[in-house]
Amino acid sequence: MASYLIRRLLLMLLTLFGVSIIIFLLLRLVPGNIADILFDQAGMVDPSEKAAIVTELGLDRPLHEQYLQWIGDLMQGDLGTSYLSEKPALEEIAPRIPISARLAGLALLFSVVIGVPLGVLSAVRQNSMLDYVLRIVSLSGLSMPSFWLGLLVLMAALALFGNIPIYTSEPASFWQTVALYLVPAAVVGFRSSALIMRLTRSSMLEVLRQDYIRTARSKGAPESSVNFVHALRNAVVPVTTTIGVEAAFLIGGLIVTETVFNIPGVARFLVEAIRWRDYPIVQNLVMFIAVVVVTVNFLVDLLYMVLDPRIRYAE
């Protein structure tokens, strides 16, 4: 077990090292840097000023030097300075993380609370009208772009209340909290809930055919206990992987939803930083996302062992 953990941790570090190189090189492929953008858009006409900016930001140094500087600083907790705001990148990123984390947490909660019970229901009533309706709804959930769902919600808010919720860090009332956090979270989580529902259904169907379920029924166990205690416990093991993967990948949904609802989280900030070629922000944010994904995957593997004692990773 210990050697497995050490091997996994080393692999995680190797993966993150690779991601850092990929991201660093990709950003340097970009035609035009921040100096070009400032030069073009801010109307600076003096080329010497542009050259000064390039030198000041170190963009004229060899690529390997720029990379080593970034990684060295990162190891010491120094994320560099945002090219745009000229504030330390950490100061720009850190306050935005709790906003996105809260949204992602609520979205995940929404997707599990909706997805798992509906998946069980759909499996238990296989081939019924309810099953067909739930399957079609879940497939629609997977087909609808999150940003469109968000726009539809905003349109509905406009039609019902005459205005759309504007983000504030301190909601004044319960209903404002619902509008500002729960509604966008539901929009982000809708797709995941559809995915979790489909997986719970197929996993439940497989488990419900097993002998021990027949034994439980023949012993006279009530149907609800067979479904939710005996079957769900085993069916939930593969679903956990999806929940874990979705937790990490919710960031895709966050990017567009934060943009639609104008929420100042890290996901929307990433898009803005990409548009402005703000390298310190982009590369550190992407690394942060990679760390979250890799860590969540690792935790899911460990959780797998706890949920299913039959799973033991080879020494």
Interface with another protein (CB under 8 A), residue from 133, 139, 229, 311? 139
Interface with another protein (CB under 8 A), residue from 103, 107, 179, 256? 256
- The answer to whether 18 contacts another protein (rule: CB under 8 A) is yes
- The answer to whether 154 contacts another protein (rule: CB under 8 A) is yes
- The answer to whether 282 contacts another protein (rule: CB under 8 A) is yes
Number of residues that bind another protein (CB under 8 A): 49
CA-atom Rg of the chain in angstroms? 24
- The answer to whether 5 contacts another protein (rule: CB under 8 A) is no
- The answer to whether 161 contacts another protein (rule: CB under 8 A) is no
Chain centroid to Cα 248, Å, comes to 4
- The answer to whether 270 contacts another protein (rule: CB under 8 A) is yes
* Spatial separation of the C-alpha atoms in residues 252 and 192, rounded to whole Å: 11
- Max Cα–Cα distance, the chain, nearest Å: 86
Phi and psi torsions of 115, nearest 5°: -70, -45
- The answer to whether 113 contacts another protein (rule: CB under 8 A) is no
- The answer to whether 290 contacts another protein (rule: CB under 8 A) is yes
Q: For residues 2 and 159, which CB has a smaller minimum distance to another protein in the complex?
A: 159
CA–CA distance from 303 to each of 93, 105, 195, 306 (Å)?
Answer: 29, 18, 20, 5
- The answer to whether 98 contacts another protein (rule: CB under 8 A) is no
* Spatial separation of the C-alpha atoms in residues 185 and 274, rounded to whole Å: 24
Query: Which one of 64-72, 173-181, 293-301, 303-311 is the stretch in contact with another protein (CB under 8 A)?
Result: 293-301
CA–CA distance from 276 to each of 45, 93, 149, 281, 303 (Å)?
Answer: 19, 15, 27, 10, 40
Interface with another protein (CB under 8 A), residue from 8, 15, 137, 178? 15
Extract the runs of DSSP E, i.e. beta strands, from the chain: none
SS3 assignment, position 88: strand
Binding site for another protein (CB under 8 A): 11, 14-16, 18-19, 22-23, 26-27, 29-31, 139-140, 142-148, 151-152, 154-155, 158, 202, 205, 248-249, 251-252, 255-256, 259-260, 270-271, 274-275, 277, 282, 286, 289-290, 293-294, 297
